[in-house]
Chains A and B, each alone.
Chain A
Amino acid sequence: MLEDATPDTLKHVGGSPDRIEAAAKLTGQALYVSDMTLPGMLYAQVTKSPHARARIRGINTSKAEALPGVRAVLTGAELEYRIGLYVVDKYLLARGEVRHFGEAVAAVAADTLEIARRAADLIEVDYEVLPPVLNHMDALKDDAPLVHPDLGKYDHVSAVFTPIPGTNIANQSKLRKGDVEKGFAEAEWLIEREYTNPSVQHVPMETHVAIAQWKMGDEVDIWTSCQSPFAVRNLFCYTFRLPLTQVRVMVPHVGGAFGGKAGIHLEPLVACLSRKAGGRPVKFQATREEEFSLLPCRSALTYRIKTGVAADGKIIAQKMTMYWDAGAYADYAVNVTRASGYSAAGPYEVPNAWVDAYTVYTNKPYGTAYRGFGHVEFFWGLERHMELVAQVIGMDPLEFRRLNTLKPGSITLTGEKITPNTGNPTKCLDVVAESIGYGALTAEETAREKATGCKIGKGIAALHKAPAMPPFTSSSIVLKMNSDGTVVVNTGLTEIGQGANTSLAQVVAERLGFDLAKIRISPDKDTDRDPYDWQTVASKGLVLAGNAAILACDDLLAKAYEVAGQVLRAQPADMDHDGEKIFVRHHRDRAVTFAALAIGYAYPDGNAIGGPLIGVGRYIAQGLANLDKETGQGNCALDWTFGAHGVIVEVDPESGEYHVLKICSAFDVGKAVHAEILRGQAVGGMVQGLGTACCEGYIYDEQGHLLNPSFTDNKIPTARDLPDVIESVAVETPQLDGPFGARGVGEHPMISVAPAIGNAILRAVGCELTHMPMRAEDVWRAMNQAAPIDNWITKTPNKSCKK
Chain B
Amino acid sequence: MLHEFEFRAPRTRAELLGVLADHGGLAKLMAGGTDVIVNLRAGGIKPRVVVDVKQVEGYGALTWSDTDGLVIRPATTINDLLRMPGLRERFPLLVACAHDLASYQIRNRATVIGNIVNASPCADMAPALLCLDARAVIASQAGEHEVPMREFITGVKRTVLLPGEVLDRVVVPASSVGARGGYAKLKRISGHDLGLVAVAVHKHGGELRVAVGSAAPTPVLVSGLKETDDAATVVAAAQAAISPISDLRCTKEYREHMVGVYIRRLLREVA
Contacts and interface: CB of A to CB of B under 8 A. Distances in A.
Interface of A: 114, 117-118, 121, 654-655, 657, 659, 694-695, 699, 707-708, 712-713, 715-721, 775-777, 780-781, 789, 791, 794, 796-798, 800-803
A331 to B, nearest CB: 26
A713 B248 contact: yes
Interface string B42-70: 00000000000000000000000000000
Given A655-B257, A797-B247, A803-B217, 14 more contacts: A118-B1, A655-B258, A655-B261, A657-B186, A715-B188, A715-B191, A715-B193, A717-B189, A718-B190, A721-B189, A781-B254, A791-B251, A800-B247, A801-B120
B177 interface: no
A717 B191 contact: yes
Nearest to A710: B42
Contact of B248 (A118, A718, A719, A796): A796
A739 B142 CA distance: 80
24 contacts: A117-B1, A654-B261, A654-B264, A655-B257, A655-B258, A657-B186, A695-B189, A715-B188, A715-B191, A718-B189, A720-B191, A721-B191, A776-B186, A777-B254, A780-B254, A780-B257, A781-B254, A796-B245, A796-B247, A797-B247, A801-B120, A801-B121, A801-B217, A801-B245
B137 interface: no
B250 interface: yes
Contacts of B121: 801
Nearest to A789: B251
Given A654-B261, A699-B248, A794-B248, A803 B156 contact: yes
A696 to B, nearest CB: 9
A760 to B, nearest CB: 17
Contacts of B193: 715
B79 interface: no
Given A713-B248, A780-B254, A718 B2 contact: no
Interface string B252-271: 00100110010010000000
A718 B191 contact: yes
In order of increasing CB-CB distance, the 10 nearest A-B pairs are: A718-B191, A720-B190, A800-B247, A720-B191, A777-B254, A121-B1, A721-B190, A715-B188, A695-B188, A117-B2
B189 A694 contact: yes
Given A121-B1, A780-B254, A800 B191 contact: no
Most buried by B among A118, A713, A719, A800: A800
A800 B258 CA distance: 18
B105 to A, nearest CB: 11
Interface string B227-251: 0000000000000000001111111
Nearest to A794: B248
Given A780-B257, A802-B156, A713 B189 contact: no
A712 B264 CA distance: 29
A716 B191 CA distance: 9
A777 B261 CA distance: 13
Interface of B: 1-2, 103, 120-122, 156, 186, 188-194, 214, 217, 245-251, 254, 257-258, 261, 264
B250 A708 contact: no
A252 B190 CA distance: 34
Contacts of A716: 189
Contacts of A718: 103, 189-192
A713 B251 CA distance: 14
B189 A715 contact: yes
Given A117-B2, A777-B251, A780-B254, A803 B245 contact: yes
A794 B251 CA distance: 11
The secondary-structure label for the interface of chain A is: loop
B269 to A, nearest CB: 12
Contacts of B245: 796, 801, 803
Contact of A801 (B186, B247, B251): B247
Contacts, number: 79
A695 B196 CA distance: 13
Nearest to A115: B2
B150 to A, nearest CB: 19
A68 to B, nearest CB: 15
A117 B261 CA distance: 47
B2 A800 contact: no
A659 B156 contact: no
Contacts of B250: 775, 777
Contact of B2 (A118, A707, A708, A797): A118
Among B214, B247, B258, find the residue whose CB has the most chain A CB atoms closer than 10 A.
B247
A552 B194 CA distance: 54
B52 to A, nearest CB: 21
A63 B193 CA distance: 41
B156 to A, nearest CB: 6
A694 B264 CA distance: 25
Nearest to A798: B248
A718 B261 CA distance: 25
A659 B122 contact: no
B258 to A, nearest CB: 6
A780 B256 CA distance: 13
A247 B127 CA distance: 60
B254 to A, nearest CB: 4
A118 B3 CA distance: 9
Contacts of A803: 156, 217, 245
A708 B188 CA distance: 13
A721 B192 CA distance: 10
A469 B249 CA distance: 38
Nearest to B243: A803
Contacts of A118: 1-2
Contacts of B186: 655, 657, 776
A721 to B, nearest CB: 5
A776 B189 CA distance: 10
Given A694-B189, A801-B120, A803-B156, A707 B248 contact: yes
A659 to B, nearest CB: 7
B41 to A, nearest CB: 9
A713 B249 contact: yes
Contacts of B188: 694-695, 715, 775
Contact of A708 (B122, B192, B217, B248): B248
A512 to B, nearest CB: 45
B246 A796 contact: yes
A775 B186 CA distance: 11
Nearest to A784: B257
B193 to A, nearest CB: 6
Contacts of A712: 194
Contacts of B249: 713, 800
Contacts of A715: 188-189, 191, 193
A115 B97 CA distance: 42
Contacts of B156: 801-803
Contacts of A796: 245-248
B31 to A, nearest CB: 20
Nearest to B186: A776
Nearest to B214: A801
Contacts of A655: 186, 257-258, 261
A695 B189 CA distance: 7
B257 A659 contact: no
B248 A791 contact: yes
A90 to B, nearest CB: 28
Contacts of A800: 247-249
Contact of A114 (B2, B217, B251): B2
Greatest chain B CB density within 10 A among A117, A720, A801 is at A801
Contacts of A654: 261, 264
Nearest to B268: A453
Contacts of A794: 248
Contacts of B248: 699, 707-708, 713, 791, 794, 796, 798, 800
Contacts of B194: 712
Counting chain A CB atoms within 10 Å of each CB, the highest count among B186, B189, B258, B261 belongs to B189
Contacts of A694: 188-189
A699 B156 CA distance: 22
A455 to B, nearest CB: 15
